[in-house]
Amino acid sequence: MLFVVDASGSMAARTRMTAVSGAVLGLLRDAYQRRDKVGLVTFRARSAELALPPTSSVPTAQQRLSRLRTGGRTPLAGGLLKARAVLDAERRRDPRRRPLVVLLTDGRATVAARDGGDAVADSRRAAGLLAADGVHTVVVDCEAGHVRLGLAAPLAAAAGGELVTLDELTADSVGDLVRETRSARAA
């Protein structure tokens, strides 16, 4: 399970990070008994980073999650491409694992994957690559406010995944969402 989180300066980034940190820790506690791994990729400014390599270690997660930074522009395609690389490495280590990506974003992309590229088109292409790899993706639309652009829906469609709209993102709601998706996949 890999969380891919928009840590840019867009609305409520710190609130999202707090909710995701709590959800990751809760899922790690659950995963410990099932030997699942949970990881976190964040994207902000001009790049994406693997903030938490896939692990089942709760102490490691707590240490890494306490140091997350937010702010800046939105390299959405970079975040998705980083997630793909992380999942590819995990797949080589254990081909039996079935990856799940939980992408938390408002869908706004402001940094292209390559110079002169189109940030939105690059993001949708990167989401399509996850789908082509057989990665199940859940897009959590974090857009807030009265005026909504609906940019997360086309991203979910490109990923061949599910779109979930949450007006209030909390650690419990993210954890519940992931557990429901995992149960549906296992059935």
Model confidence at 72: pLDDT above 70 = yes
**Which pLDDT score is estimated for 32?**
66
- The per-residue pLDDT for range 22-48, each reduced to its tens digit, is 777 777 777 767 777 888 999 988 899
Q: Residue 11's pLDDT band (boundaries 50, 70, 90)? A: very low
* Residue entry with tokens 């897009």: 139
Over residues 6-14, the mean pLDDT reads 69
Closest CA to 139 of 50, 6, 13: 6
- The per-residue pLDDT for range 107-126, each reduced to its tens digit, is 889 888 988 899 999 999 99
Q: What is the residue extent of each domain of the chain?
A: 2-186
pTM of the model: 0.85
Tokens describing residue 22: 């709590």
Does 2-186 carry CATH code 3.40.50.410? Answer: yes
How would you label 86-106 residue by residue, b for 16+ Cβ within 10 Å and e otherwise? bbeebbeeeeeeebbbbbbbb
Q: Return the C-alpha torsion angle 74, 160, 30, 16, nearest 10.
A: 20
Give the residue with greater pLDDT, 15 vs 132.
132
Separation of first and last alpha carbons in the chain: 17
Distance CA 7, CA 107 (A): 12
Over residues 169-173, the mean pLDDT reads 58
